[in-house]
A and B are shown apart, each in its own frame.
Chain A
Amino acid sequence: MTNHLDDHPDGGWRRLAEGLQGLSADPPATLRPAVLERVGLADVCWTVDGPAGPLLVASNGRGISATAPGGDQDRFAERFRARFGRPLRPLDRPPARLAVQVERLLGGGRAGRPPRYDLRGTSPFEQAVLAKAQEIPRGQVRPYAWVAGELGRPAAVRAVGAALGRNPVPVLIPCHRVVGSDGRLTGYAWGVPYKRTLLAAEGADPDELELLGRRGTRFFGSDTTRIYCYPTCRHARRVTGPHLQRFAGAAEAAAAGYRPCRVCRPPALAG
């Protein structure tokens, strides 16, 4: 530190200089954590009502970074630090804007901007898979193979499964809407029962989907439009009983003279 007293070396100046130095103010203790949270080097944690019980949400200035089934904040903080290497600070009240966006998203409304996500630590392929999962409407499901096909990597079905398994923000990014080609729910990071509850809460009927799969039905078609769809596609659900056709694969549907739905985009041939 330079010696400011040299400037005016007399007693009156000395007192003034000390007084001015005394005006230097301690920064508030909240400044450092707030800065780190805003730039995404630390996160905050809050709870919302999820479709399958309370949901823990972690977020920072870049967006929502993680979710976990509600309840144990300490355990969440521990696992969060292990995966992302950042501290997690519990908040009493959720950040206003994000909380509104999350509630709107979980409420099923279409209006409004979805929350931003902080997906650092995921690969470009994983991000593409998660983006694709977000295209699946609430109450509907698509097979892993559909995601792989949409990404132009039809052979990467297992990689799609792995990417969904690494989804840092389950429930909000709806990886639960991706199921086996035979309608089975297969895996879920928080356990298959949780996946079943989520799908049921969204209005999909997981038991019926599994039953359809066991009976060999992959697609529904309408003999009036001659279009085939995934069974949960909103167009398939509009088809009334007598007009509903069931197909075990794209080849069968094509052979019957049906074309794939442009909304749910089932495969054009083998499937």
Chain B
Amino acid sequence: METDPQLPARLARDLDGSFEALVVAHQRLVFGLALRVVGDRGDAEEVAQDTFERAYHALAGYDAERVAAMRLRPWLARIALNLARNRLRRRPPPSRPLEDGGGQPLAVAAPAAAEPAQVAERHQERALLAELLACLPRGQREAVVLRHVEGLPYAEVAEVLGRPVGTVKTHVHRGVRQLRIELEAREARKERTP
């Protein structure tokens, strides 16, 4: 499931010459995952930098055979997840209001005044969904992010989280069900109060 199936072999042959390709191929996953765990773009960028730095030094230390056989995506996601969890543990948890009122813990661009209503609505939906996702229990949230935000297959999600595929599927299903319940509750409320 590598984006570039030749990349591990190239890294094994020439780490310095191929490392940038690894960053380009996986920065979206690494940053996106970090963002959904730590909730702040600045922190997420630092986690992403740390992730790739660790990866570089680890790859430099492994022998070529080991590097050539690596599955980079789940490996990187696992490093990123661990570093993001550590960072979260080191600072007090931000208050995450369930209602999308005052607080804006997730960086979402505020809709500009001139924005068409449709775009503004999409921004709002995005912010709401990010907020609801942030409120899920950690296990469910991480599983849903890996599976449905970052699009990893279940086998890789299980590898990243270090859990059996069955457990991971249960977490994803429960998380998704919770999100749907919350969303539907909001829709219903909106219809009641025009």
Q: Which residues of A contact B (CB under 8 A)?
A: 1-2, 4, 7-8, 12-13, 16-17, 19-28, 30-32, 34-36, 38-39, 41, 61
Contacts and interface: CB of A to CB of B under 8 A. Distances in A.
B111 interface: no
B10 interface: no
15 contacts: A4-B147, A7-B176, A8-B176, A12-B184, A16-B180, A17-B148, A22-B129, A31-B45, A34-B49, A35-B56, A36-B19, A38-B49, A39-B19, A39-B52, A41-B19
Contacts of B153: 2
Given A13-B180, A19-B129, A20-B144, A27 B20 contact: no
Contacts of B31: 25, 27-28, 31
Contacts of B172: 7
Contacts of B151: 1-2, 4, 21, 24
Contacts, number: 98
Interface of A is mostly: helix
Interface string B61-76: 0000000000000000
A197 B150 CA distance: 59
Given A2-B153, A20-B129, A21-B151, A27 B53 contact: no
Interface of B: 16, 19-20, 23-24, 27-28, 30-32, 35-36, 41, 45, 48-49, 52-53, 56-57, 125-126, 129-130, 133, 144-145, 147-151, 153, 172-173, 176, 179-180, 183-184
Nearest to A27: B31
A137 to B, nearest CB: 35
B23 A20 contact: no
A22 B126 contact: yes
Contacts of A25: 28, 31-32, 35, 41
Contacts of B150: 24
A19 B153 CA distance: 18
Given A20-B129, A39-B56, A4 B16 contact: no
Q: Which of A1, A4, A27, A41 has the most CB of B within 10 A?
A: A27
Given A4-B147, A12-B184, A35-B52, A23 B36 contact: yes
B45 A30 contact: yes
Given A1-B151, A32-B27, A23 B41 contact: no
